[in-house]
Each structure stands twice: as C-alpha cells, then as structure tokens.
Structure 1
C-alpha cells in the first residue's frame, strides 16, 4: 500500500522552507549537461556505498547492457528544480533527490556515476522516451494509468502531492476552494492542471512551460496562486521569500521513473535496483540530504514498488 507523507511533515516543510540551509547532495563533477564520476563527500558517501549490478543482472537486461557499453546513462531531467534536480552554479554539480537518484542508477549500471541530463519538460517526457533520446526520465514524473499507456514506470520511488503557493502578502487563499473565480498558474502538461479543475472548477487556469515562468507570473500579479507538487513549491519558497506555501497537499502524487514502454526486462532491472537502495538505507540517507533539509522529523517510509495503478 502506498504511504503518503504525514500531513504534519508537509506542514513542517511549508513552514520551514524559507529559513533553512541549502541542500547538500553528493555526486560526480559535471561538464555542461553531464554528471561525471568523482568521489562522494566522504568515505560513507552515497555513491561510495551504492550497489553495482552483477554480470548476471546486467545480462538479464539488453538495455542495461547497452548503457554499460556506452559508458553513460542518459536521463530526461531538469537543472533548475531546487531540492530535486538543480545545477550548483559554483561546483557545477547537479544536486537534489532526483539528480542523485540518477547518479545512483548510473553507478548500478556502469560502475560509476556518469550521467548526461537531457532537458525534459512535462510536455516532452513521453516523446523523449518513445524516440529513444533518453534511457529514463527522472523528473517528478507522476505515475498515472493514462501515462502508462505511453511509457512504462518503475517505482514509485517517492510520494508528493499538489499544493498551493501564493505571494507572502496574500491572505485570501487558505484552501483549494478559495481558488474558484481567481486566476491560477500551473505548468502545462502536469497533473496540477487536472487537480485544479477538480478542486476549483471555476478557477481561471493559465499555464506556462516551466516552474520558473509560473513564479514570474505570480510575482508579476498575473495570478493570485500557483499550484504544483509540494516538492517543487518547497524548493521555490526556500529560495524566494516572496513565496509561501498554503496548507497541506490536496492530492497524492506517486513519482515514478519513466522508461520505454514494453521493455519489461529493463523495468524489472530498475525496480530491483530501487529495492536494493531502499534496503541498504541509501534512499533514506538521500532523503535526509535533499528534501530532508527542509522537513522536520524522520524520513517517510519509501512507497512500495508497484503499488499504484500504472506502475
């Protein structure tokens, strides 16, 4: 059964996002668009302790074998999602929960954390997988039965939920129903749009291609609220004291790793790897080093693999 994060932890995130330390994530050094191998921060670093697939495990997946021979994992992802996948302008590292997850998967396949990140938006994710531009998409990709008709999903590996962000001075929005009759921004092609239509059917929804564009529109007064996954809003509020998160999530969003549809061997390979990093405590440590920097208390239990429709 999927276990969503307790509401008190999400509320703690919403309250803490503006005043806590920046995310610390481990991984290899990067050239533009590439996360290459380098030592993790210390002897107990995640990448040092990360598992590597055996020859027999690799042989069971032709896709994994091909990636190993190529020497690089190509992932559809992002470079500007704080806490999830963001390039550190000083170190050149791509840091965050999703970014480090990609490095861990590369380590499992190749033996080192060699990752190339190809820009993926909610509107291009399926196409990137369908034409073979990327090996996987790791970018807060909510599993739905509709999407599973186009791509396959490993996982889920993380649970989130749709939430509301407003400007800090805004006081008229306290719950989803308050969005009715008001202009709200969301990222095109995301589950945020569907969620908004259900909880506030009379809201005027204006969509943009990226999260940054939504924040800019909110700041410019083009909307009174911005709806997105709480993981995204938390990162935005951590960096921008003009933004605050309202209340707790009003949906449950299971994130999965997008894979080419029909490649059952690779899906099993990735699911087996997810199980290994959970069992080894690496998932929990990754949470602490990324999303856990703004969430009080202990990490949530990881969701059960294959536990949601479409996974």
Structure 2
C-alpha cells in the first residue's frame, strides 16, 4: 500500500468513526467441556530479548534493571498515539510499537510515555529524560547530528488538509500567498517553504492547535504527515485531505546520539517483529482500521540518510 493509496482511501472513507469490533455468537452455549481459550494477543506473542542480547547493550541492561521503559511520544495523534481519556491507555501504531519494545526489553509491556512535542524530542533524549522517542519522528541528516535513529520503521509523506468546504486547493502550488498552519519543529515547515514560496506560514506546538486554527478560519490549509492527517480526517468530518503526499518521510526511533549498541539492539528487534508478522498486525489493528487490504512492506533498516 503506497502513501498515495492511503490518501485516496481516507478521502473516500471521509470521517468514519473507528469501530470497536466485538465478537457475538447467535447460537446456543456449548454444553459440557472446557470453554475455548481466547487467542493470544499481539503483545502476548511478542518476543523478549535474551540475557545475552540485553548484556550487549548497557542501555538495554539499565532499562531491564529499572523495569520500565521511558518513551517520548505524543498523546493526541489518532491512529498513531492517542490516550484514551477513560482507560488512560495510549493506543495507535506508534504507541503499540512502544509496548512491543518494552516487552522485548523487560519481559512485559511496562512503559511510561513522556509527552514530547516536535520541539522537545531532541532535548528529552539528550538529557536522558527518556530512553527512546517513538513519535512519527522523520529521519533527517540534520537531526541525526543531534541524536541517533534506529529504523526506519514506517514511510509517510507530507499532505494538505483543509476544511471540507474548501475547493480551491489541491496541490502545494495552490498554497502560495495563502495562510497555512503547521506544527513547529516538524519537517512540514521546510516542506511547505520549499513547495509553496510566499506562503503565509504560522506554526503551533501541537497538531490540535493547528486544527483549531483551521476551524477558526485563521488559515485555509494545514500541512502535516499524511498518516497524522488520516487520523484527523477519519475522526473529524470538518476536515478533508486534498492533495497527494508530496514528500517522502521515513520515521525512525530516536535514541541518544552515539549509542551504537542500543541502536543495533533496537534495529534487531525491529527486524524480529517485521519477520514474525507482528509489525503487520500492528498496522492492521491501527492504521488498517482506515486502510483496507494488506499492510505495506516495512522499509529496510538503515535505508535512508541519517539512519
């Protein structure tokens, strides 16, 4: 599934709410015998690193000793990382990756998500506030001079969203001279400036603030990674995606700069969950709730500059 295919699917589906699928039996209850056991969940079947694998990375050993993985992430990104206000659980593709990594490191998905917006991701890694950042973190050579990246683990691209009543914008060229919003500290900012010279760009610290500005009429367009816009459009019928993705964005897992043993540890784990099918199951249970068909092929580890 390409990013363009995902975009077309989101536009076609519009704002369809996520369905909580539950099993239902219309037949009689079985008589006698033990009830069939429930299938093991994705996390139940997730691998756990061996003692030798843990010992090869001082960072991994410290995390196992602590008994908790500290992840930098966001809490308001539908389909990627969003906290359920009732249960307090963070769900989505990135959120599940964090749980899978915690299970691999500790033996159980014990983690704490430290909210890290785009402008603070490098800082929380450099200060040791978190062990890793999993948060639609596009790999770039500039960022790789400050922190290290494992992966990539997913490929997305920048796209344009507008209010559903807007019909004059369909490409980056249409943004020239217009008021546009983006999340500060993201690759969206440079992508807009390159693709739409003369744009009147305003930035905000969070995606929710960009949506609020768009709905308030302070801007006519919002540019962000397509996977994030997909979640927004899927939950908000006031928002539509109007362009094909016009960049390639490879997401990586941020770790402290120069920690090569931990980078190798995380990359080995990514290969394991890809080969076992857990990566694809994660896609199906999250982004796949919007995108029909089989999961896309994961990008090769180390395949982009900075990874």
TM-score interval, smaller chain: over 0.9
Taking the aligned partners of 2:286 and 2:20, their CA distance within structure 1 comes to 5
Aligned residue runs from structure 1 range 30-179, under 5 A: 42-179=38-175
Taking the aligned partners of 1:15 and 1:153, their CA distance within structure 2 comes to 34
Match for 1:21 among 18, 40, 44?
18
Residue 250 of structure 1: aligned partner: 246
Does the alignment pair 1:290 with 2:277?
no
5+ long unaligned stretches in structure 1: 25-41
Does the alignment pair 1:217 with 2:216?
no
CA contact (8 A) 2:149 2:306 kept: yes
- State the secondary structure of the residue aligned to 2:43: helix
Taking the aligned partners of 1:20 and 1:66, their CA distance within structure 2 comes to 41
The structural deviation recorded for 1:19 is 1.5
Residue 305 of structure 2: aligned partner: 309
Taking the aligned partners of 1:15 and 1:189, their CA distance within structure 2 comes to 30
Provide, for residues 37-93 of structure 1, a one-character-per-residue CA deviation record: whole Å limited to 9, x for no partner: xxxxx5331101100000000000010000000000000001111100011123221
The structural deviation recorded for 1:247 is 2.5
Taking the aligned partners of 1:161 and 1:153, their CA distance within structure 2 comes to 18
Taking the aligned partners of 2:160 and 2:250, their CA distance within structure 1 comes to 18
Residue 30 of structure 2: aligned partner: none
Bigger CA radius of gyration? 2
How many residues end up aligned between the 2 structures?
A: 292
- State the secondary structure of the residue aligned to 1:49: coil
Taking the aligned partners of 2:14 and 2:80, their CA distance within structure 1 comes to 14
The structural deviation recorded for 1:176 is 1.0
- State the secondary structure of the residue aligned to 2:113: strand
The two structures have a TM-score, normalised by structure 1, of 0.91
The two structures have a TM-score, normalised by structure 2, of 0.92
CA contact (8 A) 1:156 1:254 kept: yes
- State the secondary structure of the residue aligned to 1:47: coil
Taking the aligned partners of 2:226 and 2:219, their CA distance within structure 1 comes to 18
CA contact (8 A) 2:126 2:256 kept: yes
Q: Label 1:157 to 1:130 Cα distance change in 2 as closer, same or farther (>3 A).
A: same
| RMSD of equivalent CA atoms | 1.4
Match for 1:195 among 180, 191, 197?
191
Residue 4 of structure 2: aligned partner: 7
Taking the aligned partners of 2:2 and 2:87, their CA distance within structure 1 comes to 32
